[in-house]
Structure 1
Amino acid sequence: MGSFFKMFFASLLAMIVFALIAAFLIVGFVGALASDEKPEIADKSVLTLDLSQHFMERRQNNPLAVLSNDDNAIPGLYDVVRIIRHAKEDEKIKGIYIIANSNNNAFASSEELRNALQDFKTSKKFVIAHGDMMSESAYYVSNVADRLYANPVGSVEWNGFSVNLLFLKGTLEKLNIQPQIFYAGKFKSATEPLRATQMTPENKLQTVEWLGDLYNHFLVKASQARKIDTATLHQLANTGAIQDSKDALANKLVDGLKYDDEVKDEIKKNIGIGKYDKLHLVPISTYAEAISYKQSGSNRIALIYAEGNIVDGDGDKENIGGDAFVKLVRKARLDKSIKAIVFRVNSGGGSALASENIWRELALAKADKPVVMSFGDVAASGGYYIAAGADSIFAQPNTITGSIGVFTVIPNMKGFFNEKLGVTFDGVKTGTYADMGVDRPLTPAEQNFMQEGVDRIYLQFKQRVAQGRKRDIAYIDSIAQGRVWSGEDALRIGLVDKMGGLEEAVACAARMAKVTDYRLREFPESRSWINELLNKNEDQPAAMLKQHLGEENFRIYQQMLEIKRISNGAQAKLPYQFIIH
Structure 2
Amino acid sequence: MKQFFKFVLATVVGIIVSSIILIVIFIGIIGGIISSAEDDVTVSANSVLNLEFKGPIGERTPNNPLAELSFLGFDKEKNIGLNDILANIKKAKTDDNIKGIFLDQSYLETGQATTEEIRNALIDFKKTGKFVIAYAEVYTQSFYYLASVADKIYLNPNGYFDLSGFNSEVTFFKGTLDKLGIEAQIIKVGTYKSAVEPYFLTEMSPANRLQVSSYLNSMYNHFLTGISKSRSISRDSLYSYANKLKIQYPQDALKLKLVDALKYKDEVLVELKKRTDVDPDDDLNSVSIAEYTHSNGSKSDDNGAEEGSSRNRIAMIYASGEIVGGDGDNETIGSDKLSEALRKVRLDNKVKAVVLRVNSPGGSSLASDVIWREVALTKKVKPIIVSMGDVAASGGYYISCAADSIFAQPNTITGSIGIFAVLPNMQKFFNDKLGITFDNVKTGQYADLGDISRPLTPAERGILQNQVNHGYSIFTKVVADGRKKTQAYVDSIGQGRVWTGEQAMKIGLVDRLGNINDAVKSAAKMAKLKNYKLVTYPEQESVWGQLGAGLSAEVKQSMLKSELGDNYAYYEQINSLKSMMRVPQARLPFNVVIK
- Whether TM-score is above 0.5 comes out as yes
Counterpart secondary structure, 1:315:
coil
Matches within 5 A, 1:131-150: 131-150=136-155
1:288-336, Cα deviation, whole Å (9 max, x unpaired): 0114262243211111111111112222221111122111211121222
| Alignment match of 1:547 (pick from 546, 562, 580) | 562
Alpha-carbon shift at residue 29 of structure 1 (Å)? 7.4
CA distance in 2, matches of 1:107, 1:355: 24
Alpha-carbon shift at residue 528 of structure 1 (Å)? 2.7
Alpha-carbon shift at residue 435 of structure 1 (Å)? 1.3
The 3 A distance-change label for structure 1 pair 245 and 321 is same
The aligned counterpart of 2:323 is 310
Contact 2:33-2:65 within 8 A present in 1 as well:
no
| Alignment match of 2:335 (pick from 308, 312, 322) | 322
Report the more deviating stretch, 231-240 or 541-550: 541-550
| Alignment match of 1:458 (pick from 467, 472, 485) | 472
The aligned counterpart of 2:177 is 172
CA distance in 1, matches of 2:227, 2:515: 20
CA distance in 1, matches of 2:403, 2:124: 28
Contact 2:189-2:495 within 8 A present in 1 as well:
yes
The 3 A distance-change label for structure 1 pair 549 and 24 is closer
Matches within 5 A, 1:510-549: 510-540=524-554, 541-549=556-564
CA distance in 2, matches of 1:120, 1:485: 30
Alpha-carbon shift at residue 478 of structure 1 (Å)? 0.8
The 3 A distance-change label for structure 1 pair 95 and 568 is same
The 3 A distance-change label for structure 1 pair 115 and 27 is closer
Alpha-carbon shift at residue 21 of structure 1 (Å)? 9.1
Alpha-carbon shift at residue 62 of structure 1 (Å)? 4.2
| Alignment match of 1:295 (pick from 283, 306, 310) | 306
The aligned counterpart of 1:47 is 49
Alpha-carbon shift at residue 183 of structure 1 (Å)? 0.6
The 3 A distance-change label for structure 1 pair 115 and 255 is same
Report the more deviating stretch, 197-206 or 24-33: 24-33
Q: CA RMSD in A?
A: 2.3
Counterpart secondary structure, 1:199:
coil
The aligned counterpart of 1:482 is 496
Report the more deviating stretch, 43-52 or 202-211: 43-52
1:199-227, Cα deviation, whole Å (9 max, x unpaired): 01100000001000111001001111111
Alpha-carbon shift at residue 523 of structure 1 (Å)? 1.4
For structure 1, the residue ranges without an aligned partner over 5 or more in a row are: 1-13
Contact 1:376-1:399 within 8 A present in 2 as well:
yes
Contact 1:355-1:385 within 8 A present in 2 as well:
yes
CA distance in 2, matches of 1:553, 1:28: 33
1:506-531, Cα deviation, whole Å (9 max, x unpaired): 11111111112211221121333322
Matches within 5 A, 1:359-378: 359-378=372-391
Contact 2:337-2:538 within 8 A present in 1 as well:
no
Counterpart secondary structure, 1:428:
coil
The aligned counterpart of 2:514 is 500
Alpha-carbon shift at residue 28 of structure 1 (Å)? 6.7
CA distance in 2, matches of 1:555, 1:254: 32
The aligned counterpart of 1:10 is none
Matches within 5 A, 1:91-102: 91-102=96-107
Counterpart secondary structure, 2:358:
strand
Q: Say yes or no: does 1:563 pair with 2:577.
A: yes
Alpha-carbon shift at residue 67 of structure 1 (Å)? 7.4
Alpha-carbon shift at residue 580 of structure 1 (Å)? 2.6
| Alignment match of 2:287 (pick from 277, 282, 287) | 282
Q: Say yes or no: does 1:417 pair with 2:422.
A: no
Q: TM-score, normalised by structure 2?
A: 0.91
The 3 A distance-change label for structure 1 pair 118 and 26 is closer
Q: Say yes or no: does 1:194 pair with 2:196.
A: no
Alpha-carbon shift at residue 63 of structure 1 (Å)? 2.1
The 3 A distance-change label for structure 1 pair 231 and 415 is same
Contact 1:63-1:72 within 8 A present in 2 as well:
no
1:236-272, Cα deviation, whole Å (9 max, x unpaired): 1111110021110011100000000000000000111
- The residue identity in structure 1 corresponding to 2:221 is N
CA distance in 1, matches of 2:593, 2:30: 46
For structure 2, the residue ranges without an aligned partner over 5 or more in a row are: 1-16
Contact 2:100-2:130 within 8 A present in 1 as well:
yes
Contact 2:319-2:357 within 8 A present in 1 as well:
yes
CA distance in 2, matches of 1:455, 1:19: 52
CA distance in 1, matches of 2:492, 2:70: 56
The aligned counterpart of 2:232 is 227
Aligned residue pairs, count: 564
The aligned counterpart of 2:8 is none
Contact 2:182-2:424 within 8 A present in 1 as well:
yes
- The residue identity in structure 1 corresponding to 2:420 is F
Q: TM-score, normalised by structure 1?
A: 0.93
Alpha-carbon shift at residue 71 of structure 1 (Å)? 8.5
Counterpart secondary structure, 2:176:
helix
The 3 A distance-change label for structure 1 pair 76 and 45 is same
Contact 1:393-1:497 within 8 A present in 2 as well:
yes
Alpha-carbon shift at residue 54 of structure 1 (Å)? 2.4
Alpha-carbon shift at residue 539 of structure 1 (Å)? 1.8
CA distance in 1, matches of 2:22, 2:584: 54
The 3 A distance-change label for structure 1 pair 566 and 25 is closer
The aligned counterpart of 1:348 is 361
Alpha-carbon shift at residue 421 of structure 1 (Å)? 1.1
Counterpart secondary structure, 2:127:
helix
Alpha-carbon shift at residue 230 of structure 1 (Å)? 0.7
| Alignment match of 2:349 (pick from 328, 336, 344) | 336
Contact 1:375-1:394 within 8 A present in 2 as well:
yes
Q: Say yes or no: does 1:390 pair with 2:403.
A: yes
Contact 1:388-1:469 within 8 A present in 2 as well:
yes
| Alignment match of 2:93 (pick from 88, 93, 112) | 88
CA distance in 1, matches of 2:45, 2:182: 65
Alpha-carbon shift at residue 104 of structure 1 (Å)? 1.4
Alpha-carbon shift at residue 27 of structure 1 (Å)? 9.1
Counterpart secondary structure, 1:133:
strand
CA distance in 1, matches of 2:362, 2:328: 14
Contact 1:78-1:503 within 8 A present in 2 as well:
no
- The residue identity in structure 1 corresponding to 2:60 is R
